[in-house]
Amino acid sequence: MKNDWVREKFSIFEQKTYINSCSYGALSTEVKQAFNDYLLDRDQDGALWPRWCELLEDLRSEVAGLLNASPDEIAITGSASNGVNSVASALDFTGSRNKIVTTDFEFPSVAQIWHAQEMQGATIHSVAARGGTIPRINFEQALDEQTQLVSLSQVCYRNGAAIDVNMIRDMARDRGAMVMLDSFQMIGTQSVDVKALDVDFLVGGFLKYLLGTAGVAFLYVKKDLLPGLNPTATGWFAQKDIHAMDIRANKPSDTARKFETGTPPVVNIYAALAANEALLR
């Protein structure tokens, strides 16, 4: 069969029919080898910061290509939750526009992060589903002039329902609200183009349909928003100069790197690069 060469890359297929990629993708020989490459590098050279920083930037560029974004709009994170938390830390909930709109289709981590912002003054509203869909009227009733951001799951992790991103984005724009899209359950199965979607933020990761592993994810931040957003969740890899080691000040990057925090997930970056190469092939 024409796809046998693909199946041969996944040892688990020899024994199982694997249909759990919505939770964690099957492990390929390329990703296994990437883990071995990391261990070999550690054994031979110990700490390889120049190489690891290069790999981080390689992954940033590849994610940008995957999303039709600029590398300066991409933060590499340890999880989608890390990215959402960084965005949340950059938002101001002290004014009248303090409302976050989510939906019944959200992944628990994302919804929990927004509810945690209630301690910062945020008001959280979850748009109710009706059966396997969320009616348009429910969004129309939820979105108002107090809405600062609408948080959407592009595909629901429970039932596979896809959201009408364009419709809700336009509705949010009319009310002056930003849009964050969780594409974790979509990316790797279909094209995800942030320019066509015209969202403000997008999160995803490599452990599902991107064929990688847990512990490495990404955040897209629209370039126009970067100057006005300054996350308080930060770390040395969020700095303009990551090698400055300045303990007297916080000098964040001008790019989406400002949404990163501490030491990047080095071993998982090896795996993600190998997975992306295999996926593109």
Task: Map 162-227 to HEC letters.
Answer: ECCHHHHHHHHHHCCCEEEEECCCCECCECCCHHHHCCCEEEEECCCCCCCCCCCEEEEECHHHHH
- pTM of the predicted structure, to 2 decimals: 0.96
CATH number of the domain bearing residue 220: 3.40.640.10
Residue 49 domain flag: yes
For residue 6, is it within any domain?
A: no
Distance CA 102, CA 97 (A): 15
Domain housing 41: 34-280
In what helix (H) or strand (E) does residue 153 lie, and over which residues does it extend?
strand 147-153
Q: Which of 76, 100, 72 is nearest to 222 (CA)?
A: 72
Enter the tokens of residue 179.
């849009």
Residue type, 252: P
Q: Strand 178-182: give its sheet, edge to edge.
A: 74-77, 217-221, 201-205, 178-182, 147-153, 99-103, 123-127
Distance between CA atoms of residues 85 and 159, nearest Å:
25
In a domain, 268, yes or no: yes
Q: Is 20 inside any structural domain?
A: no
Has residue 19 been placed in a domain? no
Q: What is the pLDDT of residues 21-72, one digit of tens each?
A: 999 999 999 999 999 999 999 999 999 999 999 999 999 999 999 999 999 9
Bridge partners, 133 (sequence order) = 130
Please give the Cα distance from 226 to 240 (Å, whole number): 13
Summarised one tens digit per residue, pLDDT across range 68-97 is 999 999 999 999 999 999 999 999 999 999
Q: What is the pLDDT of residues 150-198, one digit of tens each?
A: 999 999 999 999 999 999 999 999 999 999 999 999 999 999 999 999 9
Residue 23 domain flag: no
**Confidence check: pLDDT of 255 > 70:** yes
Flag whether pLDDT at 279 surpasses 90. no
Q: Which of 177, 259, 191 is nearest to 221 (CA)?
A: 259
Would you give the DSSP letter of residue 258? G
Within a domain: residue 8? no
Q: How many domains does the chain have?
A: 1
List the alpha helices (DSSP H) in 68-179.
80-89, 108-116, 136-142, 165-174
Q: Is residue 28 part of a domain?
A: no
